[in-house]
Structure formats: C-alpha cells, structure tokens
C-alpha cells in the first residue's frame, strides 16, 4: 500500500498542521497520521514530517487546504520502492495543485 509524507519548511507549520488534522476547522472527523522525522532523502527546512496512508491522503490534503497559511510551506512525497530500497518522489509543493 502506498504511503505519503508531508515535509514542512518550518516547525511552526508542522505543529499547526498536526493541530488542524487532529481537529479540522470544518467539523470533520480527525485525520489519521503519524509524526515522523523528516527522511534523510527529503530536503526540508524542518525535521518534523507527517506520514499517512493512501486512504487518508485526500482527506488530509483537503483539510490542510482549509488553512491558507500552508500554501508553499509544505511538500508532498510518495514513498516508492520496496523494503530494501526507500525512495521518496515529490508529488507537489505547497497545497495548490495537490
């Protein structure tokens, strides 16, 4: 199953994203995610990233899109490869166009 990582340009953005996903401003159910260290393969300004499975990707992105301050503060990556080869493919920067 595919997994995704959102890497942030700042710790402030990462923490704010966690709060929004735990308690969405539109009253929706919380989004399931894990807080992870930003993988070494990803260049980001913050050491905190959020990881989530494919089935929660759309919900997570739609929830974060409600908060305009996240535009251009995060990048979405998909984990590709198998257990022996860990790579991350950039899918989009900022929430616009995700």
pTM of the model: 0.81
For residues 95 and 84, give the distance between their C-alpha atoms in angstroms, rounded to a whole number. 30
pLDDT at position 98 = 42
pLDDT at position 27 = 85
CB contact set of 79 (below 8 Å; sequence gap of 6+): 2, 3, 4, 5, 86, 87, 88
How many residues in the chain?
Answer: 98
In tens, the pLDDT along 26-54 reads: 888 899 999 999 988 888 788 899 999 98
For residues 67 and 21, give the distance between their C-alpha atoms in angstroms, rounded to a whole number. 11
Q: Which residues of the chain have pLDDT under 50?
A: 95-98
3-state helix, strand, coil in the chain (%, to 5): 30, 30, 40
């Amino acid at each position: 199953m595919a997994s995704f990582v959102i890497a942030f340009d700042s710790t402030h953005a990462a923490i704010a994203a966690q709060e929004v996903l735990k308690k969405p401003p539109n009253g929706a159910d919380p989004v399931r995610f894990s807080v992870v260290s930003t993988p070494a393969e990803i260049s980001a300004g913050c050491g905190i990233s959020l990881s989530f499975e494919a089935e929660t990707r759309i919900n997570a992105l739609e929830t974060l899109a409600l908060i305009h301050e996240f535009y251009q503060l995060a990048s979405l990556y998909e984990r590709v490869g198998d257990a022996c080869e860990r790579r991350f493919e950039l899918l989009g920067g900022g929430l616009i166009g995700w």
